[in-house]
Amino acid sequence: MLDHKDVLYAAVKARDSRFDGRFFVGVSSTRIYCRPVCKAKRPKIENCSFYGTAAEAERDGYRPCLLCRPELAPGRAVTDASASLALRAARMLEDNCGGGEGIGEIAGRLGYTCRHLRRVFAAEYHVTPVMFLQTCRLLLAKNLLTGTALPVLDAAMAAGFGSLRRFNALFKERYRLTPTDLRKRAAGGGGDKRGGVTVALGYRPPYRWDALLNFFAGRAVAGVETVAGGRYFRTARLVGAGGKRADGWLCVGDDPDKNALSVTVSESLFPLLPQVLARVKRQFDLTCDPCAVYETLSRMNGIRRGLCVIGTRLPGCFDAFEMSARAVLGQQITVKAAGTLAARLAEAFGTPIETGVPGLARAFPTPEEVLSLGDGVEDRFGALGVTSARSRTIYELAGAFARNGAAFDYCARPEEEIGKLTRIRGIGGWTANYIAMRAMGFTDAFLETDYGVKKALRPYEPKELPALAENWRPWRAYATVNLWNSL
């Protein structure tokens, strides 16, 4: 794409949101780099250089625009990358930039040598992993300095800088102004009366916020998450690098005028802020390119008008184990009944968390807490109305998460993980694909045996659905969500 300068410049002229986050444009006359949707005066084409990542633009000496704020640009989806290893590494660097995790540790988690990861990463992104990580930290800090009232020191620490001196030096070197100078130029101060700060995360429009919010509302675990006033609230209990723990709450709302979600995070979660924001991005599918999805799935409207609606997002999850356990609880019972059982588990075995939000008081039990119940899990869960079979399935699922939780967050081969899940007694094809769709972000998962899918596709016979869905690859998970929404 970057070889076609005329095409990219046309996107800049049109301020085409479909290209937002797919490339950045550096302007030689100002030495500033922008998003293609920037509302500043349009530069001349001869002054433009185009880059696939912000790190590449900064490598060449450009500093981020204060108007369009490149740190708010949507990310890339897994299906966008020619090298999935490089993309997974990039996501891990971005998600854990505040945790102090090194390149060698990330390579080990992905199952590759550090040398191989550096080679693949440089071929895909044209910068080293270290420089990419530095850019992630700088842009997160810039977001906090511009959009919140956090002190400079707190912003630096939350973004992963262990030294204020190092942060100030790198910030001035890259951006040619100090963090204090940036704050003076910005109108920051996003906050919340309960003691949190609010940051923005961009998306590509259109974005069907209400449909996604309704999905989460219908499956909310009482005490752990809730939807109120057009916003999503939940508790969070996280563990970072080195065993660093943080408990707190967060709130997510939509800001359609800015094509962004507003994410309010409690002060107690600041030490793991990059991890919180990464989970929000996955849960609310912020890397999606709705036009690319609709280009393939629009043919669904030949079956019935309005069956596919552009802007539909794939509902992810904030806590993969929580969602997976709830999926097991929901087998062969109603959505409401599954929510009741999940709420009982949270009440009995979850951790109390002070939030100040009505109805939000506990974190769902972690895999380790479930495993600590040992052989007594069936009796303990059974007292809450969970069958012995499902109690044992959740216990074995907890073991899988405890051994290899990264396989769910940064999945390279979802089909293989689906196969591993189905080897757990009590997890069939529907449950495994549902977990892959929501926890792994597997865009091609298809729930052909799902009652809602079969109902939405009548009068097609169930045996006809797999062949019909072949036309919807690689977006069959989005097709599934559109079919659910059509009901």
Rounded-to-integer distance, Cα 96 and Cα 94, Å: 6
Q: CA-CA distance, 294 to 309, in Å (whole number)?
A: 8
Start-to-end CA distance of the chain, whole Å, equals 39
Cα distances from 212 to residues 178, 194, 231, 312, 442, in angstroms, run 40, 25, 11, 8, 17
Tell me the residue ranges of DSSP E strands in 295-417. 351-352, 362-363
Nearest Cα to Cα of residue 98 among 143, 34, 66, 58: 143
Beta-strand relationship, 351-352 and 260-266: unpaired
Contact (CB, 8 A) for 320 and 402: no
Tell me the three state secondary structure of residue 383: coil
Catalytic option among 60, 181, 255, 450: 450
Rounded CA-CA distance 116/114 in Å is: 6
Which residue is it, tokens 């019935």?
A: 304
Residue 296, classed as helix, strand or coil, is: helix
**Reduced to 3 states, what is the DSSP secondary structure of residue 176?**
coil
Is 319 catalytic? The answer is: no
Integer Cα distance of 165 and 170 in angstroms: 9
Among the listed residues 92, 88, 120, the one whose alpha carbon sits nearest the alpha carbon of residue 105 = 92
- Of the candidates 280, 301, 314, 305, the residue with the CA atom closest to the CA atom of residue 474: 314
CA 43 to CA 398: how far, in whole Å? 54
364: helix, coil or strand?
coil
Whole-angstrom distance, CA of residue 482 vs CA of residue 487: 9
Long-range CB contacts (within 8 A, 24+) of 26-31: 26/50, 26/51, 26/57, 26/60, 26/62, 27/62, 31/61, 31/62, 31/63
Cis link prior to 206 (omega < 30° from 0)? Answer: yes
Active site amino acids: 450
